[in-house]
A and B are shown apart, each in its own frame.
Chain A
Amino acid sequence: MSQTSLRNRMLEAFRRRMFFLIGLIAAVFMILLIQTVNLQLIQGETYKQRARMNMENYIPISASRGEMYDRNFKIGGGNVVIVSNRPSFNITTIPASFKSKEEMAAVIRPLCGLLKISYDEVMSDIRSRNPWERVVIREDIGFDTIVVIASNQHRFPNIDWEDAPVRVYNYSNMFSHTVGYIGAISPAEYKRLRDSGYRHYQKIGKSGLEGEYDSLLRGTDGHYRRVVDVRNRIEGEEVGLQAVAGDNVVLSIDFEVQKAAWEAMKDLKGSCIVVKPHTGEVIALVSRPDFDPNMVISKNNAKIIEELNTDKNKPFLNRAIQSKYPPASTFKIVTSIAALEEDKWNPNLTFHCPGKYTLKGFIDKDFFCYDAHGTLDMYWAIAKSCSVYFYQLGYKIGPTIILKYADYFGLADKTGIDLPGETQGFLPTKKWKLKTFGQQWFDGDTVNLSIGQGFVSVTPIEMANLVSAIVNGGIIMRPHLVNEVLSPDNKKVLKKTEPRKLREIPLSPMTLDTLRQGMRLAVKSGTAARLSYLKVPIAGKTGTAQTRSKRKDDYSQHAWFVGYAPFDGPVENAVAVVVMIEYGVAGAVSAVPIAERVFAKMISLGYF
């Protein structure tokens, strides 16, 4: 009896446990089924895409980047091509397409030998990237090397090549700061621009017009579609998407003028800007020292970029728009305008210059002029750049009015020129001084300000705008470097840059006339007399800024020339020129000869 009941109990236990296991089996099959549903039905599309990615090898077709021409572009050739492209190839691979690291090494190592590059560098580059994305092993490969790889394809599985035109800067250094250069897209740029269609293997404009107009110049890459198996044996190939070339651009720059200015500034440090005040077109923009963009984009550019970056002369700096300096005597233009407009000052009123000006105060302080000019009116004060005249004028009208006019001319604002990285000048205020130095605004500060010394600083492009305002009756146009955007075949003008008014300062005709006459007098028999012999009447103003430089081997002076021509011609023809030489001798000595070469060139080109 007990025997049977024990048997029954054990049989019962056995059945219970079997049913438990059957439940477990059912649950496990349920989980397997759910995961199958998840992979095939829910995520099916994603995996279909990845399967396509596996077998369809997309080989990019680089779009041809837009070319750049100078302002005299005409359909039908004979144009100055500033930037163009030459055909070349890239060697690429997708690291994840190799089955193992050993297999990858077995292919990459002999390839590096063939391409004469360091295996370790290539591998460290590959390791730092997403293995599913295409990596460029080497750029700028000639056709002969491609032939070698193509005829030995079994030895180089998973290795592809693609057309990759190389950018050519035909005038090397001459346009380094205007045109800029391109480079591999950085991880930060890629992150920012991924959604705008940029790809990690593409180039991007890094500076200058290449950077500013990148979206127009770059075009759209296409791709070949290759169906391949895991050993990269090609089953078929077709053009999946045609590349669309980038748009070409016509610059407002005149090659000849740029060349004259660039050559004139050989071995100097500084910048030269030539603008048409009527439209804002920049005819020339030179910054020295410069660099060769062809070297920056070349194969082993890391070292060259490093050298340029650490060069104490900062060749990468576009001094025309990215450096600010004390405006010095050129700022007397602003002081004059402020006095004439706001203080009922009459240009015929005189001050006496005994060679120095003594500011009365708790302790008397002397401010010097470079000469004893005697008694002079405003025309002669501008022409001779007499500081004592402006000390007294500035002291009389006070800093508020001067700064107000400096601000009207945008000396503390970016001009909005179509170049990246522009900086703006600085105008001090009483509040700023109190905050920064914990000091009141002294009369000495006012006196310094009136001749453009002290805390005030401006960029050369802002000074170009100031001159433009005088030429253009108080209107400042936004400066720009691109005149037209052309279709890739140059047959259609896609976009024309319309001149855009940046500022309008209501200046009375008397004010304008006084400044023009004064600046004309400076050329006829003043500080810029060297320009007087030119056939076209020129007006200008020099400046010599004292800097706080402690360097002994450099002149501690910056030389300025700001001017325009023709003095009395039609506004449409007028051209404003700003020359700024760092650590030059006085403005008249260093800056004026540059302006002379530029004006002479423009006269011979028939600008006036």
Chain B
Amino acid sequence: MLRRNEIYKIDYVLIAAVMAVIVIGILMIYSAGFDPIDRTNSGLYKRQIVWFIIGFILMLMMTFVRYKSLGDYCLYIYFFVLLLVIFTTFFGTPIRNTRAWLNFGYFSIQPSEFMKLAVVIVLAKYLELRERDIRHLRELLVPTAVTAAPVLFVLMQPDFGTAMVFIPVLFAMLFIGGADVSHLVAVISIATIALIFPMALTYREWVADQDASIIVSFFQDYNLLFSVAGFLLLVSITTYILHFFLIKKIFRKIYIPSIVVSFGLFFSVVIMRFLKDYQKKRILVFLNPDLDPHGSGYNVIQSKIAIGSGGFFGKGFLNGSQAQLGFLPEKSSDFIFPVIAEEWGFAGAVILLGLLCLIVLRGAQIALEAKDKFGALLAAGISSIFFFHILINVGMVLGIMPVTGLPLSFVSYGGSNLLVGMISVGILINIRMNKFVY
């Protein structure tokens, strides 16, 4: 239990920043729920206040629990939440064709939000245990499987945005946990090669710049691509065998890049083959939202208009025309940042971004100062969840990331997101308190 003198070790800076962001969020949810014609409010902000109070209690509780016990019970936590996610995937309440919520009458819970934290706890524990062997490729198998299982089910819900967040979090934790950088770079390179060519081709197809270029026609010929991928695979196998017998550094320099390129090309053919037309369209609308002012492009255009029209000082609380007259979609959840940027202008946006940045960096600092590896990895993982949420959400509303539908941590309306956020902050505080143990 908390001793009297430990009260002074609580991270008040972090708590203050988080409280400030949540209060800004609640004010903006109030604004987003306001109807200027009927002078009424949807009342969502009241629910968010309730969630905030519950979250605050949970946060305090997390500061009292020994965080090490999270590691001890990590598998129970993980499988319990995973079961909830699987249950939700098949029996959840569908909202807008997505089964991501478990409905309990007055409130509903989104287990996939809790899953992120559970995955981070398991990864932290695993990476702590395997600290010395993690440089080997085979040691990456378990973390990948631990992450892939929930991702698969979340994708089935289908909730693309939430599923995507797991992947960068995994990479960040592997990186900090000491995995071989060349392994991570190889995987990222394969993914990049696999994605970049279908995207480029689709762009050309739709934007109708039809000049025949040798490079492009090369990538349009599936057979040729397959042959090149196969050839590179052969080269890498040969050089690997040679390396096995002769052990010369030069071979490593050949077989690693060639297997990366080979896999990348192979997957790019697969993606091109199996990408449906509407999916290709989506990619394009991301590249140029004006192509589709009705669909997902509409949201980004309206979001940019809201942010841009805020100017320096904004239009004033409850006075944003984009937010108040309903042009901004999903304004209390995914598109909450534009409401702030419109009504409070650049000043408000910078303050919010600064506070969010402070929270993430504080988490990183806590990770650096943690007294043990588990605490460090846990803090880093939690910070990376916050970080990637902020990057994807704010990047989306600013029009520099694809539209995926992910809430902004602490700010967006949503009980589960807020609860997980505050529990995570409680864990961070806990880790920081314990650095003073010695």
Contact = CB atoms under 8 A, between A and B. Distances in A.
A37 B305 CA distance: 13
Interface residues of A, number: 46
Contacts of A44: 308-312
Contacts of B350: 33, 36
B286 interface: no
A35 to B, nearest CB: 4
B361 interface: yes
A21 B400 contact: no
B327 A18 contact: no
B398 A51 contact: no
B216 to A, nearest CB: 29
B412 interface: no
Contacts, number: 138
A21 B175 contact: yes
Contact of A32 (B312, B327, B376, B394): B394
A203 to B, nearest CB: 27
Contact of B37 (A33, A35, A39, A233): A233
A25 B357 contact: yes
Contacts of B367: 18
Interface in A29-79: 29, 31-33, 35-37, 39-41, 43-44, 46-48, 50-52, 54-55
A39 B302 CA distance: 12
Contact of A131 (B293, B304, B321, B361): B293
Contacts of B356: 29
B415 interface: no
Interface stretch (A8-16, A180-188, A377-385): A8-16
B201 interface: no
Contact of B364 (A25, A29, A47, A48): A25
Interface in A1-31: 6, 10, 13-15, 17-18, 21-22, 25-26, 28-29, 31
B294 A99 contact: yes
A10 B37 CA distance: 62
Interface residues of B, number: 54
A25 B361 contact: yes
Contact of A43 (B306, B308, B325, B380): B308
A80 interface: no
A33 B352 CA distance: 11
A229 B346 contact: no
A233 B298 CA distance: 20
Nearest to A19: B368
A21 B364 contact: yes
B326 A229 contact: yes
Chain B, interface SS category: helix
A118 interface: no
Chain A, interface SS category: helix
A104 B325 CA distance: 19
A171 B307 CA distance: 57
A21 B326 contact: no
A41 B346 CA distance: 8
Given A10-B131, A47-B309, A101-B294, A231 B398 contact: no
Given A13-B178, A48-B311, A230-B326, 17 more contacts: A14-B178, A14-B373, A14-B376, A18-B368, A21-B175, A36-B398, A37-B346, A39-B308, A40-B308, A40-B341, A40-B346, A47-B304, A54-B325, A55-B321, A55-B327, A99-B329, A235-B37
13 contacts: A10-B131, A14-B376, A21-B364, A28-B391, A36-B349, A39-B304, A40-B307, A48-B311, A50-B308, A98-B294, A104-B294, A229-B324, A231-B326
Interface of B: 36-37, 131-132, 172, 175-176, 178, 293-295, 298, 302, 304-312, 321-322, 324-327, 329, 341, 345-346, 349-350, 353, 356-357, 360-361, 364, 367-368, 373, 376, 380, 384, 387, 390-391, 394-395, 398-400
